[in-house]
Structure 1
């Protein structure tokens, strides 16, 4: 029996500007997104029907799960009469701003196109599943604009990071609602300056428009950001809608040493070293 194994990378936003809100309720964004060396794992086996098993997290295994919806969308659009059995090995924390569910969904679309070849364009399917899903089809760093659907691939140096999630689940819907309540939309990211700082491993002039309102409601996220600063890591920031925070390190060794210290400081947190992938 064919078994297809796939890795679904996490992402961080190296800056997230929310420039406004449209009449339909969608927000306009300007964000530099990068895939990481940490993520979830999935296995796919052709089967008579569609089914999903999740290991490592208490998640639904029906249409409430984005992986299931992605598989259903592809099978229907491609006219596949059979199904697939999917096992999702969940490694990333839930509702944490690192795109785990979106990555799992995009990985599912790509895997099913391998198992059941068709000439389908995956981008419309990905867009229908969520704003971050199309990014994970790109396979490298990308500048996201519009409502996140306009993606421009970017070449970046490899970046070493430390990620810490305090265990707080923050829904993207809440984070954007809290921003709307303040009305504090932000200008586009200073992309040229950000890229120069990344190349030179200097403090990076990025920002996350969602961070102030989320940290105001979840002070434990602010404590993590301060700890990253105290360990002399570069430019701590919350990723996406939170609650995962990250900072840059000058080397893999520096990142791993910081992780050992942070795990002692935050023993109940998810803490790991990672690097960007392309």
Structure 2
């Protein structure tokens, strides 16, 4: 194959994120409903004699410091393929934003290379070696993630629209978990049935993110973004992952698009997008 592939790397949100505590190995025990979205990055992957990565849209490294490069290296080594690939990453998601962009990019790289150079490679196992969130993005669709995020149970999520708002901050996931550890405010497992019932009905329920209090208290712009979502008529505002992106649910596509315009006008320098939940393709 000489033409290569263009692959979409979707963002995700956490429709609830519970941190049960710290495991003996130092990792955190999670319970979170992860859902892919209609917005994301895009990759072009073409056959080549050597491995190269070009990043467009963000100031990111193009060597082994980039997870996409490491994912490509890992797949090619596992496949025993002598040639490599030319990869162009079109980065459209904000960095360190709680949307899983890097993990999604890595998973999309694995999928693209498995099509370019088919081989008997265990993609889920390879994905787990790259990061706890990477396996989630392989099959698509929503899932309840447990353990450190690697234990995935497919969940069918109803169609929904929302608005994402990133106030231009990069939040370290490590710092967010450290702040939670210091507070000791761990939380019980998610009640997924309650969350799904709320999505079906469009009810405004208290979705929660165990990392949110510690992050918001240290980053006032995130608190302002959450308040702005409510003021724009959206419901159930929540921070995704370790932040800094927040989102609010809409009752329709039209409401989401209108709220996006309102928020973009109010925060002209921020990243604001209306998006659709892609919860049925797993």
TM bin, normalised by shorter chain, reads over 0.9
The answer to whether the aligner puts 1:3 opposite 2:41 as a matched pair is no
Question: Which position in structure 1 is the counterpart of 2:63?
Answer: 62
Question: Which position in structure 1 is the counterpart of 2:167?
Answer: 166
SS at match of 2:115: helix
The answer to whether the aligner puts 1:75 opposite 2:82 as a matched pair is no
Structure 1 runs of 4+ with >4 Å offset: none
CA RMSD of aligned residues (A): 0.8
Question: Which position in structure 2 is the counterpart of 1:91?
Answer: 92
Question: Which position in structure 1 is the counterpart of 2:181?
Answer: 180
Q: Is the 8 A contact 1:14 1:31 kept in 2?
A: yes
Rounded to whole Å, the distance in 2 between the matches of 1:156 and 1:102 is: 21
Question: In the TM superposition, what whole-angstrom CA distance separates every residue of 1:147-204 from its partner, at most 9, and x where no partner exists?
Answer: 1111011111111000000000001111111111111110011211111110001113
Rounded to whole Å, the distance in 1 between the matches of 2:159 and 2:53 is: 34
Rounded to whole Å, the distance in 1 between the matches of 2:27 and 2:13 is: 21
Rounded to whole Å, the distance in 1 between the matches of 2:91 and 2:195 is: 32
Q: Please report how far the alpha carbon of residue 2 of structure 1 lies from its aligned counterpart in structure 2 after TM superposition.
A: 2.1
SS at match of 1:240: coil
Alignment of 1:198-277 (within 5 A): 198-277=199-278
Alignment of 1:110-189 (within 5 A): 110-189=111-190
Q: TM-score, normalised by structure 1?
A: 0.98
Question: Which position in structure 2 is the counterpart of 1:24?
Answer: 25
Rounded to whole Å, the distance in 1 between the matches of 2:168 and 2:32 is: 24
Q: Please report how far the alpha carbon of residue 123 of structure 1 lies from its aligned counterpart in structure 2 after TM superposition.
A: 0.9
Q: Please report how far the alpha carbon of residue 230 of structure 1 lies from its aligned counterpart in structure 2 after TM superposition.
A: 1.3
Question: In the TM superposition, what whole-angstrom CA distance separates every residue of 1:35-90 from its partner, at most 9, and x where no partner exists?
Answer: 00000000001101110000000100000000000000101111111110000000
Question: In the TM superposition, what whole-angstrom CA distance separates every residue of 1:242-276 from its partner, at most 9, and x where no partner exists?
Answer: 00000100011100000111011111100010001
Q: Please report how far the alpha carbon of residue 238 of structure 1 lies from its aligned counterpart in structure 2 after TM superposition.
A: 0.3
Q: Unpaired runs of 5+ in structure 2?
A: none
Q: Please report how far the alpha carbon of residue 121 of structure 1 lies from its aligned counterpart in structure 2 after TM superposition.
A: 1.1
Q: TM-score, normalised by structure 2?
A: 0.97
Rounded to whole Å, the distance in 1 between the matches of 2:44 and 2:75 is: 16
Q: Is the 8 A contact 2:171 2:244 kept in 1?
A: yes
The number of residue pairs the alignment matches comes to 278
Rounded to whole Å, the distance in 1 between the matches of 2:262 and 2:207 is: 26
Q: Please report how far the alpha carbon of residue 232 of structure 1 lies from its aligned counterpart in structure 2 after TM superposition.
A: 2.1
Rounded to whole Å, the distance in 1 between the matches of 2:133 and 2:150 is: 8
Question: Which position in structure 2 is the counterpart of 1:49?
Answer: 50
Rounded to whole Å, the distance in 2 between the matches of 1:204 and 1:109 is: 37
Q: Please report how far the alpha carbon of residue 205 of structure 1 lies from its aligned counterpart in structure 2 after TM superposition.
A: 3.4
